[in-house]
Amino acid sequence: MIEYVAPYNIDDRVLTRGAALLSAGALLAFPSDTSWCVACSFGSKEGIKRLRRLSGEREERYFTLLCADISQFGEFCSLDNTRFRLIKRLTPGPYVFILKTLSGTGKALTLSRPELGVRIPGHPIPLAVIRSLGAPLYSITAKRSMIAGGEAEEPGEPGEELPPIPEAELFESGWELEAIPGLDLIMDGGEEQARTFSTILDLTGGEARPVRRGAGPWPA
């Protein structure tokens, strides 16, 4: 289940295998510039179904579309010059940006609200996976509650800030994720991972509003 890789020189065979698995509805885990992530292909309905079932979450704010560059955002979300400049300044990095979705995106993901969290991670492994797949990934932070099928946190009211993720819920090493049921592949760069989480900024209104404060400083 675990493939140990050199983050800046990943074996093409591992990337090809990972892309094939994702296309078939698999779930992959890998490090990011914050904590470990579990992801599926954005284009796989089966993968999205499995990811939601594993996470136990019912609220879209917990899920993130991982992209390799800003141009991929524009395929799914509304992005004007002001938002583009802010995102360009803060990426790649530990920030999630909530944007209004374009027509069709919400239907593809069966979203209950016309908005989506997007991110460009500052880590070579997820970027290499996205480029090999040729499509964004739909992801969530890996949590220890996934091992025992624990209860998801109750979502707050719309407009409320999300609570921080307890450090005890996050993983450090790739081998720990082997206990999570349903993972098809873990790509491990061989280093312990910081147990941190991203800062979430809501860009759907007139000004950027922090929804959760994490590793990315704000105001930045």
CA distance 185 to 1: 5
| pLDDT of amino acid 162 | 82
Average pLDDT over residues 54-74: 85
Q: 2-212: CATH homologous superfamily?
A: DHBP synthase (3.90.870.10)
More confident residue, 58 or 158: 58
| pLDDT of amino acid 1 | 83
Q: How do residues 145-182 score in pLDDT, each as one tens digit?
A: 999 755 455 444 555 678 889 999 999 999 999 999 99
Q: Which residues sit opposite 100 in a β-bridge?
A: 115
pTM over 0.85: yes
Over its C-alpha atoms, the chain yields an Rg (Å, rounded) of 16
Q: How do residues 98-149 score in pLDDT, each as one tens digit?
A: 999 887 776 666 666 788 899 999 999 999 999 999 999 999 999 999 997 5
List, edge to edge, every strand of the sheet that includes 36-41.
Answer: 2-4, 185-188, 28-31, 36-41, 137-141, 64-66, 115-119, 95-100, 199-202, 209-212
What residue segments make up the domains of the chain, in order of their start? 2-212
